[in-house]
Structure 1
Amino acid sequence: MAEETRSLVTPGIPPRAGNREWIGLAVLALACVLYAMDLTVLHLAVPSLSAELKPTSAQLLWIVDIYGFLVAGSLITMGTLGDRIGRRKLLLIGATTFGLASLLAAFSTSAVILIFSRALMGVAGATLAPSTLSLIFNMFLDPRQRSAAIGVWITSFSVGGAIGPVLGGVLLEYFWWGSVFLLALPVMALLLVLGPRLLPEFRDPQAGRLDLLSAAMSLTAILALIYGLKQTVQDGFGPQPAAIILAGLVTGLLFLRRQARLADPLIDLRLFRIPTFTVSLVTNVLGVFIAVGYFLFVAQYLQLVLGLSPLQAGLWSLPSAVGFIVGSNLAPRFVHRFRPAIVLGGSLALASIA
């Protein structure tokens, strides 16, 4: 009955979420923790998987980075797809694919198979973020409850990214490198069992047509740029990587041009006319770019130079994990008291000093 899941509705006042919605939020948050954790959990496993699979330098970079790049490259497409086929349906499809890809990654016998499985995990992982946030908006109609639910959603990403190295270190201390991928299986199984019972289905009745060419162009541009840069790292800058990078840039420009002409674009380019949006986006991209390289370097330094075990290296990442979680929870409060530019500038200055 409706009374079991939502409080009594007063005319003109949005209904408040009940136990069913909050339990559903917990399931969604757990999936988001896993999604973010997979961005960092592999860092400590690089030495052991390198010794077993013997990847080239370019393959190793693909193994580490392909998940995050395909998540970023597929987010827009998956968000648009969810509006059309149903956000819960897309979430459950993504969870199934993510679990199967994680199983394949755990038992990979070559670098090529691991790269493929990580790429598949990236595409599947891209279904989680837009689907979970959209479902939260549908489940929590009361403004105060919705703000609290979004806070839990944001915190889950912070927790996942922060605890990835720690959990990875614990697993690598006692099991083989592939065990870090098996964490996904129970979480995705829980989502598949509870999702149909706790999560509502929603489609956007006004969603336009999904432009498959735009989706292909966006992925092609991103992958070409990444491949060209990685070939440069492995073999040095030359005609072939230069041509690949140029092809990626041209494809990206054609993608942007197409979005400006479409009635239902994958991304609304008018957003970039908002200075706050553009500056925030560029700053976030640069911050993530630096942070990923930093944490990967530190993980290798602790094990290969200082000779620490994976568990010890993971424990050394705890201060950063705590700081990341605390900062992500304090930032929204600071923004309410100070101008966003002051909070952003102060945070970057503090990170530079540290």
Structure 2
Amino acid sequence: MSNRSIFEDVGGAKEKQAAPTPGLLDRGHDGARKWIRMWLGMLFVLVVAMITVGGLTRLTDSGLSITEWRPITGAIPPMNAADWQAEFDKYKQIDQWAIQNKWMELSDFKQIYWWEWGHRQLGRVIGLVWAVGFLGFAVARKIPTGWAGRLVLPGLLGAVQGGVGWWMVHSGVTQGEGVTTVASYRLAIHLGLAFAILGLLAWAMMGLGRSEQDLMQARRAKEAKPFSLATGLMHFAMLQILLGALVAGIDAGRSYTDWPLMGGQVFPPEAFGLEPMWRNFYENPGLVQFIHRVSGYLLLVFTVVVWLKGRASAHANTRFAFNAVMVAVTFQILLGIVTVVQAAPWQTAIAHQLVAVLVWVLILRARFLSAYPISISIKDH
């Protein structure tokens, strides 16, 4: 037997040692997580764009320019002068034209038509991207175990959203009823569903960003109290988003432009001027804006409570997530005040809506990290 150094034996053993193999949860279909996450990211960006275009469609009073729901054939816009005139003639039959836009010529109609057509077309693109992506991953058998249902749900809700969108538009396509806008409560449902879809996409992307083994280990360190508070904040934020949609639906943001008072009073005058009384809660501009304001103040107070608990987390990433929520909510409240004082110009109104998206995602991020904290060892610093 030849003489060998003990260091040579140890080194050889290291060279021959097999590389660690992934756990059962990280085998098989788990390899597609990165690509599915990219696909969901594309859908996420498209939904944010959809929310933005939808807001601009509302601000330009374009939502009723297309008076029919044709999910397939409606993808093709008017192609000649006769087609344009036919669409314009249909629009002339509804109350919005007769009461509000009787001054319009065909060229004016085309401007509002393109906004609504673009909004609907973007919805079709989102549906197509979801269908192609999901079917592609399913046929290739690349969907991680247990994820099929979670990836189907956004697509199903997207289909429901199309129907809700028409249900909303249909409320404003009237003749002889004196209606010139869509029902604000239907607008709120439409926007709320869009944020729900956005939340599902964001949550799935967060989950797919880490392996199943990592998530299972992290779940053991779940911080129950911050998670519970973040869940409550998530629901409160959704309520505020719905109230904001009610404000937007009746242009209540332009009814009282003083702050902190409303019309020189703490409580707006004529807050219950409509009959029956319950209509005031979604049709009276003063009361609707007052409720949105008060809800915003309460949301800020609750955010402080959640933040104080979240910043005490043992995990640096979780603390940072709750800090980001606190900053974003504070900025959103200030932006809301500016929007009211400026009588809701479209630039500020859209910014307010987009910051709501940011707040929503950051709350979800803080909630996710409370449930699945990322542990950082000393050597990582």
TM score, norm. by length of structure 1 = 0.37
Q: Would you tell me which structure has more helix in proportion to its own residues?
A: 1
Task: Specify the structure having the higher radius of gyration (Cα).
Answer: 2
Q: Which one scores higher on RCO, CA 8 angstroms, separation ≥ 6? A: 1
